[in-house]
Structure 1
Amino acid sequence: MQSDLDSGTILRAVDDAAGYVAKICFKTGPPRLSGVELEWTVHDAAVPERPVDPARLRTALGPHAPSTLDPDIPAAPLPHSGTVSVEPGGQVELSTAPRRSLGELHETTTSEFAHLTDLLGAAGLVLGDTGIDPHRPPTPVVDTPRYRAMRCAFDRLGAAGRTMMYSTAGLQVCLDAGESTEFADRWAVAHAVGPPLLATFATARRHAGRDTGWASARMAAWQFIDPARTRPAWSPASESTDPVQAWVRYALAAPLLCVRRDGEDWSVPPGITFTDWLAGALPGPPTTDDLDYHLSTLFPPVRPRGYLEIRYLDAQPGAEWIAPVGVLAALVGDDRTRDAVRSACEPVGGRWAEAARHGLRDPLLARAAGTLLDLALRSLDRTGLPPATREEITRIVARRLAAARKGPR
């Protein structure tokens, strides 16, 4: 199921839409590239509870300010070609350019992180180091037609949508899908390791000045918004399902979050899926550009975008982002250990809610995480990371496991 449709082509049949999704979302080949998207809450250095307004962020980011803050001037890339975006709650996100080695990714991202913190620091701002704002309740900072439509759609389902939009910060790891003979296995492993790695690297317990009782209140917020766009597209029960077919069904059955149009109102009536739009549920047929945009409003733990965008990790303190990135690269990328990885994950398949609630206090998750981390650390020498970075990752992992055994503070 493939498609030769170009950008901007009008879609009139489900088969054409399905073929287009299959073409753009799973691109196979030798796994060479990796990247990260690092997101942080932003705080006043002296009074972290104080709101940070968009004008202050725009001034701090200067030429790198995105169009959501400064629509009149194109944003300049960071020194190593990374880009900056600002999320609806004022969270700042650094998206790296793809790199051919994990060592190069670490080096260039470390440099751009330093550049970004210097810019913000000069304006009296600091980046948070957890996956959810520990100080402030959910508060809008950036307002666009997309964000207003999101808020409208999520408000129908409760308060979790606003928490997700305005208070959460994540770490996204981007890895090539791999060769046609292995991408289904890499897809499955990227999902299978999710619950134990979410539990291991959870940082989002305190929110708005209180202990939430969740190891990852960030992931809890994601789980409580629209499951048709946030649930995993893979589960142990779907092991034998072709990933392409599974993602096509997921994408076309998901309700529309918004539809771009002239004016400020991009909202849509609840429950209309992309398949419904193809059948005439909205005025005018959709195009392939509309389908591209719809895909950008789907937020499963692993999202195929031509590569695998792994989305289930909390933001990490400072430079510690390299630890989960190195672990994931070792587990997903080493074909010599993937069978052992999947075996270790079998007892915790689908335990996303338990991972978010209990972290490594869940005995099954703790046991699986211990096995996975041991496998990952023994495979780090095949990731292209230099010895000093591998030793740093080992120290971070050991500290996380020790802290988990002591329980929440």
Structure 2
Amino acid sequence: MAEVACDDRPLVFEDLVRWFEAGAKPKAAWRVGAEHEKFVFRLGSHAPVPYEPQGIKALLEGLARYGWAPVCEGENVIALERGAASVSLEPGGQFELSGAPLETIHDICEETGGHLQEVKVVADELGLGFLGLGFTPVWTREQVPMMPKGRYRIMRAYMPKVGGKGLDMMFRTCTVQANLDFGSEADMVAKFRTSLALQPIATALFANSPFKEGKPTGFVSARADVWTDTDPDRTGMLDFVFADGFGFETYANYALDVPMYFVKRDGRYIDVAGRSFRAFMKGELPELPGQKPTLKDWADHTTTLFPEVRLKQYLEMRGADSGPWSRLCALPALWTGVLYDGAALGAAWDLCKHWETADHERLREDVARLGLKAEVAGRAVQDVAKDMLAIAREGLKRRNRLSGGLVDESGYLAELDAIAETGVTPAERLLELYNGPWQGDASKVFEAFAY
């Protein structure tokens, strides 16, 4: 049964607001969720991998030996579940772990490492490999197969109507993400504003996609550049988050005005791309005459918004390129240190609270091209990154979540510290290899940096 308002009446605006409010948790219950995507390729040829034969479907089925339960759409396995964690497919076969909400970064690293070990065993049997980059280095859009999920067919048809690079976003990008809780509306607002303003700093630290179709693009994060021309209705820096009076109601109104993609009924995706959720609440969708939404429809709709930070019943940090195993734990560590300690959150807001509206969008665009060499409000991004990391480190130390070896979580920032100290992004390291020992062959990245 679809979820409906508690008294079976049609949804009203207040129900939508309360859905966000229901995410608030006491601090003792705050958890961290980590997600990462990776490209799947054929060993030897470096070719992209179709759903079948001997492709993504076989990879999913092979993981069943580790206790993963299949999630099917029709006859196709399109995801796996194990406890609160899941493995899912992005449109071009990018393989994603959506981890369980966990207490510490130590737990996240253990979960991530276990997942990578499992998928490597199965992938080796199939002759497949995995690569963590923000944008596929050599494949054309036409080479990348589409996974058999109904919502992706709808998105593929709609994307070219609203932006020039939406199909690249779908088929040729990978990200690493962290999901964090909030305690109240005021806490959500403080965390949303701070993390949204500083999201481009994370983009610079994790910039790891300098290539497109075998050549340098002029960007250190081709993935971040793609997001600047995907769909202005559902992407960007959300200026209203920084305005007085921002709260759950403001975000709910924003979400209502973002055009829909689909409605799911009886396991089937109904194409309503471009339609209004407001019209849906009035029963005025031509595709579903007289039908009104459930809270499940609202939850589904919120997943089709793609700002740099996204509010659901938690906050999602969405601004970082995927990368090697060593950096997959660094992103949740960074944001946990900044957002889960009160003093750190205040200090982080002090870094960016004076930035103007124009600074936010300009910074988002500049870091895609310049990385840590960009500037914001008269400061080098490299210096802001150093300050942000110092704040995060102290926040993690005060959290004092120790592993068995009595080590706190701040050690997971070490690789980011090195990047900030040198000012050289991972993308620029790749370009050094491309212009040096790789002799202009970007495909060497599949051998040098595969998991």
- TM-score, with normalisation over the residues of structure 2? 0.80
2 CA distance for matches of 1:180 and 1:127?
Answer: 40
Query: What residue number does 2:135 align with?
Result: 132
User: 1:170 is matched with which residue: 171, 175, 197?
Assistant: 175
Q: Report the CA distance between 1:399 and its aligned residue.
A: 3.4
Query: What residue number does 2:48 align with?
Result: 51
Is the contact made by 2:59 and 2:123 (CA closer than 8 Å) also made in structure 1? yes
2 CA distance for matches of 1:130 and 1:294?
Answer: 28
Q: How does 1:241-252 map to 2 (within 5 A)?
A: 241-252=245-256
Sort the Cα spacing of 1:398 and 1:153 in 2 relative to 1 into closer, same or farther, 3 A: same
Q: State, as a whole percentage, how many aligned pairs show the same letter.
A: 26
Query: Are residues 1:301 and 2:305 paired?
Result: no
2 CA distance for matches of 1:216 and 1:382?
Answer: 33
Query: Are residues 1:390 and 2:410 paired?
Result: yes
Q: In the alignment, residue 140 of structure 2 is paired with which amino acid? A: P
2 CA distance for matches of 1:65 and 1:46?
Answer: 30
Name stretches of at least 5 consecutive residues in structure 2 with no aligned partner: 432-451
Q: In the alignment, residue 286 of structure 1 is paired with which amino acid? A: K
Q: In the alignment, residue 271 of structure 2 is paired with which amino acid? A: S
1:243-292 deviation per Cα after TM superposition (whole angstroms, max 9, x unaligned): 2122111111111112335797732363x321132242432232213222
Secondary structure, counterpart of 2:419 in structure 1: helix
Q: In the alignment, residue 46 of structure 1 is paired with which amino acid? A: G
Is the contact made by 1:69 and 1:142 (CA closer than 8 Å) also made in structure 2? no
Is the contact made by 1:12 and 1:285 (CA closer than 8 Å) also made in structure 2? no
1 CA distance for matches of 2:85 and 2:267?
Answer: 31
Q: Report the CA distance between 1:136 and its aligned residue.
A: 0.7
Q: Report the CA distance between 1:203 and its aligned residue.
A: 1.0
2 CA distance for matches of 1:219 and 1:91?
Answer: 17
Q: In the alignment, residue 276 of structure 2 is paired with which amino acid? A: T
Sort the Cα spacing of 1:10 and 1:198 in 2 relative to 1 into closer, same or farther, 3 A: farther
Query: What residue number does 2:366 align with?
Result: 354
1 CA distance for matches of 2:316 and 2:427?
Answer: 30
User: 1:312 is matched with which residue: 319, 325, 329?
Assistant: 319
1:149-174 deviation per Cα after TM superposition (whole angstroms, max 9, x unaligned): 11111111244111011111111101
Is the contact made by 2:42 and 2:49 (CA closer than 8 Å) also made in structure 1? yes
Query: What residue number does 2:190 align with?
Result: 185
Return 140-149 or 374-383, whichever deviates more: 374-383
Return 389-398 or 350-359, whichever deviates more: 389-398
Q: In the alignment, residue 249 of structure 1 is paired with which amino acid? A: N
1:100-127 deviation per Cα after TM superposition (whole angstroms, max 9, x unaligned): 2222222222222222222223322111
Sort the Cα spacing of 1:203 and 1:42 in 2 relative to 1 into closer, same or farther, 3 A: same
Q: How does 1:87-166 map to 2 (within 5 A)?
A: 87-138=90-141, 139-166=144-171
2 CA distance for matches of 1:82 and 1:338?
Answer: 28
Sort the Cα spacing of 1:117 and 1:389 in 2 relative to 1 into closer, same or farther, 3 A: farther
User: 2:397 is matched with which residue: 381, 388, 392?
Assistant: 381
Is the contact made by 2:132 and 2:322 (CA closer than 8 Å) also made in structure 1? yes
Q: Report the CA distance between 1:231 and its aligned residue.
A: 2.5
Sort the Cα spacing of 1:262 and 1:405 in 2 relative to 1 into closer, same or farther, 3 A: closer
Secondary structure, counterpart of 1:171 in structure 2: strand
- TM-score, with normalisation over the residues of structure 1? 0.87
RMSD: 2.9
Structure with the largest fraction of strand = 2
1 CA distance for matches of 2:14 and 2:391?
Answer: 42
Sort the Cα spacing of 1:157 and 1:53 in 2 relative to 1 into closer, same or farther, 3 A: same
Query: What residue number does 1:366 align with?
Result: 382
2 CA distance for matches of 1:154 and 1:385?
Answer: 45
Return 391-400 or 111-120, whichever deviates more: 391-400
Secondary structure, counterpart of 2:234 in structure 1: helix
Sort the Cα spacing of 1:140 and 1:284 in 2 relative to 1 into closer, same or farther, 3 A: farther
2 CA distance for matches of 1:264 and 1:285?
Answer: 15
Q: Report the CA distance between 1:6 and its aligned residue.
A: 3.6
